[in-house]
Amino acid sequence: MNTLLLRADNLSKLSVKKHNVAFAHFDWPDSIPHDTWWQSPDLLTPALTDKLQNYNQQELMELSRWECINSFSLNYTGELELIQEVSRILDKVKLDEAREYLFHLIDEENQHMWYFRKFCLDYAGKVYPNKKFQLEKASLTPAQDHFLVFARILIFEEVGHYFNVQNARDDRVHPFIREINQEHYRDESRHIAYGRQVLEHLAADALAEEGSDRLLAAQLDKSIAINIGALYNPAAYRDAGLQKGMQIRDALLSDPARIDFHETKLLGNFKRLMERIGIPLS
Ligand SMILES: [Fe+2]
Ligand SMILES: [Fe+2]
């Protein structure tokens, strides 16, 4: 049995063993107080910058509420897209028996979508829409297309994973929100392990054509910019009562401390993997 197949087989067994049904798993509180941390204060978008001191604790707690809703909305809309994309290539991608795990992936993401959407609607009355602009259709070989599907999923999952780990760990965060982060973290650890193996497996075919490395790198650089940009939502700043959301977004996105945070904490693992595979990201 090759490594990918062995790994996928083990992950499938874990999914079956752990099969909790999220629909019945959580004990949903009636409400979550506003004057508490909905995300770790270390994860707020002004964290690590001198702009943090512009706000008092009450304003930061309110921001944590809307940035939590933003990140749960991104999980929901991203997982919806993930299920659509994995379903589109499910029968075509060259994974042999390791394809089996994709059924667990879709099953688990469907449950995550359900609880993230429910959380946003029950406690904030809204889900932020997905602002991802449609990427222009580059002409791709099937192998490049399939590689990009899994690479984009991995970018999305690595970013979300960092948030889950930090929130689950931070005892300042409301216990129910910590529990959701913890639960999502457990499933996502398996998805990320699988995704990394799949990319190594699909890389040779995806890179077979001359110039593929630069083509894939350009596509992935755009996906990274979209995933990072989505964390800085002007609508969330507005809902948190902060003025000039677009200006806040622009200032934070170009802050050197934030850029360093994106590169090391959020994207470090993904970028190292692409480097090893031979895709020159910027
Ligand atoms: Fe998920
Ligand atoms: Fe996932």
Residue 277 CA to ligand 2 centre (angstroms): 22
Confidence of residue 207 (pLDDT cuts 50, 70, 90): very high
The closest ligand to the CA of 112 turns out to be: 1
Residue 54 CA to ligand 1 centre (angstroms): 34
Residue 97 CA to ligand 1 centre (angstroms): 23
Ranges of each domain in the chain: 3-18+55-277
**Over the stretch 137-164, which tens digit does the pLDDT of each residue have?**
778 999 999 999 999 999 999 999 999 9
* Lowest model confidence (mean pLDDT) among 9-13, 20-24, 88-92, 197-201: 20-24
Confidence of residue 241 (pLDDT cuts 50, 70, 90): very high
The closest ligand to the CA of 80 turns out to be: 1
The pLDDT of residue 206: 98
Residue 45 CA to ligand 1 centre (angstroms): 22
| CATH classification code of 3-18+55-277 | 1.10.620.20
* Lowest model confidence (mean pLDDT) among 130-144, 218-232, 259-273: 130-144
**Over the stretch 58-112, which tens digit does the pLDDT of each residue have?**
999 999 999 999 999 999 999 999 999 999 999 999 998 889 999 999 999 999 9
The closest ligand to the CA of 188 turns out to be: 2
Residue 103 CA to ligand 2 centre (angstroms): 12
In this predicted structure, the answer to whether residue 135 has a pLDDT above a threshold of 70 is no
With beta carbons less than 8 A apart as the criterion, state whether 160 and 70 touch: no
Residue 153 CA to ligand 2 centre (angstroms): 8
Residue 57 CA to ligand 1 centre (angstroms): 30
